[in-house]
Structures are given as C-alpha cells and as structure tokens.
C-alpha cells in the first residue's frame, strides 16, 4: 500500500466565475479562479491536454478540458450545453460559485515534440483541447518548427476561437486555414471538409519531422487520419484525445476503461498507434 495521504481525491475546491463569454451557439467560455489563492497557485502547473472535474452544486460533476495554455494568465473552460450539468453551468453568471478539482490526465507531450513541425487539425469544438497546445507552442515559438493549423466547422458562426487563430496568423512560420461545410453570405473562405485544405494551393503542409494533433467528431477523425497516413505521417506521429464517459477522473470508478487503459489517468491523450491498439472507435 502507498503511504496514507491527507488529500481527499474527490473533494473539489470552490472557485468563482469571473467572466462568461459567448462563443458559438450553445458554447460559452467561463473564466474562473479558485477562491483560495493557494489552490490557484497549486493549479498553475497544468499541462496542455489535461482536464478538470467541474462541480455545479446541486446538479453534478462533469469533465472539461483546459483550453488555456499554462503560459496564459487566465484560467477558463469552454463548454457546450448538452445536458444537466452543462446547462446549469450555462445559467450561471459572474460572481457565482462552482467547484473544481484537477488537473487530471496525461496531457500532450509538448516537450518531447521540441524541434518538430506541428500540424493541428480541429473539427468544431475539437479545437477546445487543442487551443492549449497551439497557444503553448506559439509562446515557445523557437522550440518548434513550422506550425500549420486547420480548423473546420459546419458554418462560419461555428468556427471556434477566431481571435486566437487570427493572432496566430500574424506569427512568422505559423499558418492557419479555415473551412466550413456550408458558407453564408459573408463567407469568402474555403467550403469543404477540413482535410480538403491539406492540398489546396497556397497551403504548405509540413510532413517530414511532423506531429499532427487531431481532434473532432469521429467521422472527421477517420477521414483526416486516412489522409495524413497517405501523406506519409506514421501512426505514431498522429496524436489525439479520447473522450469517454467519466465519473471520477482519478482511475477508480471504471467508467472510462477501454482495452487496457483507464482514459482518465493513462490518457486522455493517445497517439493513433495507441488508440488502434486499444481496439476502440475514436
């Protein structure tokens, strides 16, 4: 047995909502901080790709990715309203209290990827967990080679984090491409699935010495993987996050267990090689 610990792994700490921002329909970003400054300081060491367990008192607890990079000052999450907890969160206002525990999970191995080109492919709210890596990579710009970001959504209104992506585009050696399934009146950009961007004229997609971060709905994932493999990336160069029903986040409740992995502690970040070995659908 490990030595006894004082820490209660299930006990969340109280946090205050500072600001709520509308993103796309049904999706809002919630800026928050722990009520106790010591909790806030302890939390700063999180890694891109980790997640937290969020409590809405009286309703329940759910897992949420951490879209901020540890290099940023503010902490927040971006949440789509789908059911009980997320709808309750959407009803909260600045000043309201929530409770948070974490950070949990392995996160993306950003340090291991130093010296590599980075490709980010995000469909819809798949950009939420990747935002952290993108901002982190740009904050450590000199550690990485070229950076190419591809983001697709159903309609222009559903493109995520437009301000962050616009800022990326101003950074030397970083390119950012957007696409939508259906345009609207003002849309002059690409129309088509996200992988249709890879071979467009004017797009310089790195392939050698490259890691591709891919997050999005299962259909998108399958097509993007197929194209990336065809372009010459290996299964080990493709990395993603698995979202599974989670109840505890700390490897005890058993809900997230697939194959030989507990997604909450062994993941949620896995290479495509590992995902295939787990023998599950994305």
Ligand X SMILES: Cc1cc2nc3c(=O)[nH]c(=O)nc-3n(C[C@H](O)[C@H](O)[C@H](O)COP(=O)(O)OP(=O)(O)OC[C@H]3O[C@@H](n4cnc5c(N)ncnc54)[C@H](O)[C@@H]3O)c2cc1C
Q: Is 250 in the site for other proteins (CB under 8 A)?
A: yes
Q: Whose Cβ is closer to ligand X: residue 62's or residue 120's?
A: 62
Write down the least CB distance from residue 246 to ligand FES, Å. 4
Tell me which of ligand X, ligand FES, other proteins, none is bound by residue 280, counting a contact when its beta carbon lies within the kind-specific cut-off of 5 to 8 angstroms. other proteins
Nearer to ligand FES, 60 or 183 (CB): 60
Pull the structure tokens for residue 137: 């990579």
**CA–CA gap between residue 115 and residue 145 (Å, rounded):** 6
Pick 176 or 248: Cβ nearer other proteins: 248
Q: Which residues are CB-neighbours of 113 under 8 A, at least 6 positions away?
A: 144, 211
Chain centre distance of CA 216: 10
User: Could you say which residues in the range 102-131 bind ligand X, by CB under 6 A?
Assistant: 128
* Residue 93: other Cβ atoms inside 10 A: 8
Site for ligand X in 45-74 (CB under 6 A): 51, 60, 62-65
83 is a contact residue toward other proteins (CB under 8 A):
yes
Binding mask 8-27 for other proteins (x = CB under 8 A): xxxxx-x-------------
Tokens for 125?
Answer: 């709210």
> Which of 244, 257, 258, 277 forms a contact with ligand X (CB under 6 A)?
244
User: Is residue 193 a contact point for other proteins (CB under 8 A)?
Assistant: no
- Smaller CB separation from ligand FES, 80 or 255: 255
CA 200 to chain centre: 26
Separation of alpha carbons 112 and 101, rounded Å: 27
Q: Which is nearer to other proteins, 119 or 269 (CB)?
A: 269
The residue to which tokens 């969020």 are assigned: 54
Sheet of strand 75-80: strand arrangement: 60-65, 51-56, 97-104, 13-22, 27-34, 75-80
| Closest CB to ligand X: residue number | 83
Q: What values do phi and psi take at 49, rounded to 5?
A: 95, -10
CA 181 to chain centre: 21
By beta-carbon proximity to ligand FES, the closer residue of 160 and 263 is: 263
Please give the DSSP secondary-structure letter assigned to residue 116.
S
Q: How is residue 40 written in tokens?
A: 């806030």
Residues 228-267 that bind ligand FES (CB under 6 A): 246-249, 251-256, 262-264
- Per the listing, tokens 């295939």 go with 276
How is residue 99 annotated by DSSP? E
Q: Which is nearer to ligand X, 67 or 206 (CB)?
A: 67
Distance in Å, CB of 42 to ligand X, minimum: 20
Number of other residues whose CB lies within 10 A of the CB of residue 271: 17
Q: Under the rule (CB under 6 A), what is the footprint of ligand X? A: 51, 60, 62-65, 77-80, 82-86, 128, 243-246, 268
Residues at the site binding other proteins, with contacts judged by CB under 8 A = 1-2, 4-5, 7-12, 14, 55, 57-61, 80, 82-83, 95-99, 218, 243-245, 247-248, 250-255, 257-260, 265, 279-281
């Amino acid at each position: 047995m490990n030595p006894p610990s004082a820490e209660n792994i299930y006990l969340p700490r109280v946090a205050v909502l500072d600001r709520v921002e509308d993103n796309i329909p049904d999706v809002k970003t919630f800026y928050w901080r722990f009520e106790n400054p010591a909790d806030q300081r302890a939390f700063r060491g999180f890694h891109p790709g980790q997640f937290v367990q969020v409590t809405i008192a009286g309703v329940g607890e759910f897992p949420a990715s951490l879209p901020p990079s540890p290099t940023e000052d503010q902490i927040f999450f971006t949440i789509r309203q789908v059911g009980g907890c997320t709808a309750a969160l959407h009803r909260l206002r600045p000043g309201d209290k929530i409770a948070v525990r974490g950070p949990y999970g392995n996160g993306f191995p950003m340090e291991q990827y130093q010296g590599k080109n980075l490709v980010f492919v995000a469909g819809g709210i798949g950009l939420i967990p990747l935002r952290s890596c993108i901002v982190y990579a740009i904050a450590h710009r000199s550690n990485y080679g070229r950076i190419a970001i591809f983001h697709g959504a159903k309609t222009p209104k559903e493109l995520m984090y437009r301000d962050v992506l616009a800022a990326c585009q101003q950074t030397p050696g970083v390119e950012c491409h957007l696409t939508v399934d259906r345009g609207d009146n003002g849309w002059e950009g690409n129309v088509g699935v996200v992988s249709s961007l890879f071979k467009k004229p004017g797009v310089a997609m790195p392939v050698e010495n490259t890691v591709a971060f891919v997050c999005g709905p299962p259909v998108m994932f399958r097509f993007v993987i197929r194209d990336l493999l065809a372009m010459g990336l290996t299964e080990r160069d493709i990395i993603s996050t698995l979202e599974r029903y989670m109840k505890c986040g700390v490897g005890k409740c058993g809900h997230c267990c697939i194959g030989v992995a507990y997604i909450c502690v062994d993941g949620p970040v896995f290479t495509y090689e590992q995902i295939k070995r787990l023998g599950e659908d994305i």
